[in-house]
Structure 1
Amino acid sequence: MADLLDSLDKLPKIRQFDAFPKTQSIYTQRSSKGGLLTIISAVTLLALLWTELSSYLYGERRYSFAVDNQLQSSMQINMDMTVAMKCHYLTVDVRDAVGDRLHVSDLEFTKDGTTFEIGHADRLDAMPREELSVQKTINQARKKPLYRKKPKNKKFSRQVAFQKTAHVVPDGPACRIYGSMEVKRVTGNLHITTLGHGYLSMEHTDHKLMNLSHVIHEFSFGPYFPEISQPLDSSVETTDKHFTVFQYFVSAVPTLFVDARGRKLHTHQYSVTDYTRQIEHGKGVPGIFIKYDIEPLQMTIHERSTTLIQFLVRLAGVLGGVWVCVGYAFRITNRLTTFAGSVATDGDSPESYAASYGYSRPNLEKSNSWIKPNDAVDKLKDKWAGFGGGMGRSGHRKIDSVQQRILSEEGRAY
């Protein structure tokens, strides 16, 4: 390959079409300004390269809002919670704005006896507010390997799979309630209460056994979507009172996710406000109440990705454009600096340059080489002329240039 290029380089006609002319090294000049600008340019190019590479690997997302025009009649609720009471005394019910009451059976939600462990959960009011923002809700993924696993058909599944209970204790002191169910897509209230408190029951729970401290491992609406982090996930509420009411006011936002292939997924994200209060016996119903409402606005998330060819074209355009622009900027700045210096010295005139700085010498006149004194340099010139003539006849042709250099240095020293 190198031999072929060398042979082509010898052809004069092909050489005329060279769009990349080379400059000999003797005509190039390096400077500290150029080195500093090169370092800055390299750092900028690396930052742009990382940005383009991240966009190619992870894609870009655009968000938009519009009025929700879905005509769905139902939606899916997913819950995974551990309550510090035995499963026998707990009941799960749902009431909606239509007036229907649904008792959640073991077919929708599974109850496993276990021990009450807080683990990595935090109180909802102790979480930083940034984690509850829309940006965090969108960008953070769920990280619950102990309680949740992905379904086989990945994120575009309407099934939510849950991990098996880590420590199953039959008739244990705590109860893990988990599962998914379909409810009407209207305002509703999902609540967990004890037998004999809130609804008519043949059994009444002993007040000394009532402790509704709980850990919410998972609470979400709609199918599995790993890129949405729900605020109630990994939250905990504890109490040492028997009659405690835990209330969560949830505002669900319909969300449409469209991936790079055009596939659509309808799900929900939400914001939440919690409230805890103590009540007296006979003046309220102790329990865990999750009141949810559907917002009329829909968020649409469009995922965009680029192909390898598009990535290479964009990368070449961005990096090449920055490099060329920096080169032109350096040349323009360098020429402006040179022009400003030339104006300051009045066209490189020695007399004007010296006068501008307050220096002047009498009896100085300009010669072809530099500034020389009238008498002393004339004598020195005659002396070197006689010497130079003899040397010139001997074949030393560079005496004149050496003489001029010495005269220049003598005049400058004078």
Structure 2
Amino acid sequence: MDSFAKKVRTFDAFPKVDSEHTVRSQRGGFSTILTMVCGLFILWVEVGGFLGGYVDRQFSVDDEIKSELTINIDMLVAMPCEFIHTNVRDITGDRYLAGETLNFEGRDFFIPESFNVNNANDAHDTPELDEVMQESLRAEYRVTGARMNEGEPACHIFGQIPVNQVKGDFHITGKGFGYRDRLYVPYEALNFSHMIQELSYGEFYPFINNPLDATGKITEERVQSYGYFSKVVPTRYERLGLIIETNQFALTEQHHVFRVDEFDKPEGIPGIYFKYDFEPIKLSISEKRLPFLQFVAKLATIIGGLVIVGGYFYRLYERLLLILFGKKYAQKDTERKSGGLLDKEVGVHREYSS
């Protein structure tokens, strides 16, 4: 039993080099300290990454069948509300009078500060997971179909429009242009300058940034047409069990000024057009964490590799010193432990001499 215990105490899965075959030096001590510092830094980084998790992005075919969603709109148009006609038309031929659910509030036209006006909307960044989770406050408009102060110079249009989840467009035109109406807007009253505070699809999250938010266009033309083309991608954000279903969209623009014939009739229908289409894919953005055993294995692999690489660099450094400055300089400040073969022979010789 004692012999077995002794063997267990002396067992070492990674046998060390005997002390009489090792050489100490200041350079070796410095390299050991440097390797330990690097190892602690890597340990700190990896543990922090494990606790914080990582963001995983996956694309998949959207297998959810959705028949409807909402368009969230909040914008200001430089025309009186009584002159404006709003409508939705989709690929199925279905039409929806958006004026029945939208709110129209007459007010003065103005350009808010920090709005991106008359510039291409190509500087938009996709919201990150942290940003979405911090600003995921869902909202709804309290009123629908309200009309107030319609005779004011500009019209504040806001609300939600239920639409079919198919290709379509929501457009804002002057009454009498493109549709029969009792009122025909005078040519001199047409002005489709506009400021967009919000345009999004699906659940209404007013603080999540979208490509057309805080943008606007100013024009002096009376028969101006603005076209915004959106490619909508369903997006799912997930963290710690909290799930947010929303939609991102890519945007392109096409603007045109129509010619007017000799009868003062434009050759097209001026207005503001929001055309949308839905992609058959879904983007899932979620925060994940490595399994603990996988994390331990990864950490052990990194630390082991660091020790091996540190040993290789130290031996390379010693070899360069030997080549460049000679053996005497390379062995400077080194110390070999006693106990080697020569030390034993010297000890025996001294014993016989005495």
TM-score range, shorter chain: 0.5 to 0.7
Equivalent in the alignment of 2:155 = 175
Of 208, 225, 249, which aligns to 1:270?
A: 249
CA distance in 2, matches of 1:140, 1:182: 27
- Which of structures 1 and 2 has the bigger CA Rg? 1
1:150 equivalent in alignment to 2:130:
no
The root-mean-square deviation of aligned C-alpha atoms, in Å, is 4.7
Query: 1:63 touches 1:302 (CA, 8 Å); kept in 2?
Result: yes
- Which letter does structure 2 place at the counterpart of 1:247? G
Q: For residue 90 of structure 1, what is the aligned residue in structure 2?
A: 84
Preserved contact between residue 113 and residue 169 of structure 1 (Cα < 8 Å) = yes
1:224-373 matches, cutoff 5 A? 224=204, 229-255=209-235, 257=236, 259-260=238-239, 265-279=244-258, 280=260, 281-282=264-265, 283-295=267-279, 297-306=280-289, 310=292, 314=295, 322-335=302-315, 337-338=317-318
Query: 1:200 — aligned with what?
Result: 180
Which structure is richer in relative contact order (CA contacts within 8 A, separation 6 or more)? 2
Q: Contact (CA 8 Å) 1:115, 1:172: kept in 2 or not?
A: no
- Partner of 1:61 in structure 2? 56
1:354 aligned residue: none
Deviation at 1:235, TM superposition (A): 1.9
Q: Which amino acid aligns with 2:163?
A: V
Instruction: Find the aligned partners of 1:56 and 1:46 in 2 and give their Cα distance.
Output: 16
SS of the residue 1:293 aligns to: strand
More displaced, 239-248 or 321-330? 321-330
Structure 2 counterpart of 1:113, from 98, 107, 129: 107
SS at match of 1:189: strand
Q: Count the aligned residue pairs.
A: 308
Alpha carbons 2:141, 2:160 under 8 Å: kept? no
Amino acid in structure 2 at the alignment position of 1:137: T
Partner-residue secondary structure (3-state), 2:26 = coil
Distance in 2 separating the partners of 1:290 and 1:262: 34
| Inter-partner Cα distance in structure 1 for 2:75 and 2:43 | 45
1:198/1:339 CA distance change after superposition, 3 Å: closer
The CA distance in 1 between the partners of 2:304 and 2:269, in whole Å, is 73
Report percent identity of matched pairs. Answer: 23
| Larger proportion of strand | 2
TM superposition shift of 1:327: 3.4
Unaligned runs of 5+ in 2: 1-5, 17-22, 143-147, 329-354
1:259, distance to aligned residue in structure 2 (A):
1.9
Instruction: Give the TM-score, by structure 2 length.
Output: 0.67
Residues 141 and 228, structure 1, Cα contact 8 Å, conserved in 2: no
Partner residue of 1:31? 27
- 1:293 shift after superposition: 1.7
Change (3 A) 1:345 1:119: closer
Pair 51,344 (structure 1): closer, same or farther in 2 beyond 3 Å: closer
Residue 126 of structure 2 aligns to a residue in which SS?
Answer: helix
Conservation of the 8 A alpha-carbon contact between 1:78 and 1:160: no
1:5-84 pair list within 5 angstroms: 29-31=25-27, 34=30, 38=34, 42=37, 46=41, 49=44, 53=48, 56-57=51-52, 59-66=54-61, 68-84=62-78
Summarize the Cα distance change of 1:237–1:51 in structure 2 as closer, same or farther, 3 Å threshold: farther
